[in-house]
A = this chain, B = another copy of it.
Amino acid sequence: MAALSDPAEQLALTLTQGGLQRMTARVLAALLFTEQETMTAGEIAETLSISSGSVSTAVKALTTVGLIQRVPAPGSRREHFRLPEGAWATLMSGQNMTVKAMREAAEQGIATTGEDSTAGRRLAEMRDFYDYLWRELPVLIDRWRSQKPGQ
């Protein structure tokens, strides 16, 4: 299989800045740019010139966050992978966990300082903001999901 094109590596780099590990990002990019429906672990390893161990690790990470799916491979022992529909929305939902953590960290702080101190008011603003996001982001994503099929 051919090496990855330049735009693919570029996209992998961007994904890295978005928080993904380097190899994880490259595997994702490979699956985005392939003209096949699915890829096997071996194909990914060859495309990116990386060890099968690295592929295994990356695939594991991507699977747990729902960015790729294992596809049952009839007639072959190898595992096939592909990006599921709506993978990006899934990724975004996952990042919502970070928002929740921020909200709770602020809450914790308030529990210590009290809400009527200087620090307490500062923390309250933080909590309110992330609380807002925590409520509104899922709405935003749902709206995307529901308007997509209608296009």
A56: interface (CB < 8 Å) = no
B32 touches A117 (CB 8 A): no
A14 touches B119 (CB 8 A): no
Give A141 Cβ to nearest chain B Cβ, in Å: 9
A66: interface (CB < 8 Å) = no
- List residues of chain B with CB within 8 A of the CB of A109: 7-8, 11, 32-33
Give the interface segment out of A40-48, A57-65, A73-81, A127-135. A127-135
> Taking CB as reference atom, which chain B residue is nearest A117?
B35
CA–CA, A102 and B148, complex, Å: 19
> Taking CB as reference atom, which chain B residue is nearest A136?
B140
A2: interface (CB < 8 Å) = no
A101 touches B17 (CB 8 A): yes
A142: interface (CB < 8 Å) = no
Q: Which chain A residues have a beta carbon within 8 Å of chain B's beta carbons? A: 5-8, 10-11, 14-15, 17-19, 32-37, 83, 85, 88-89, 92, 98, 101-102, 104-106, 108-109, 111-113, 117-119, 122-123, 125-126, 128-130, 132-133, 136-137, 140, 144, 148
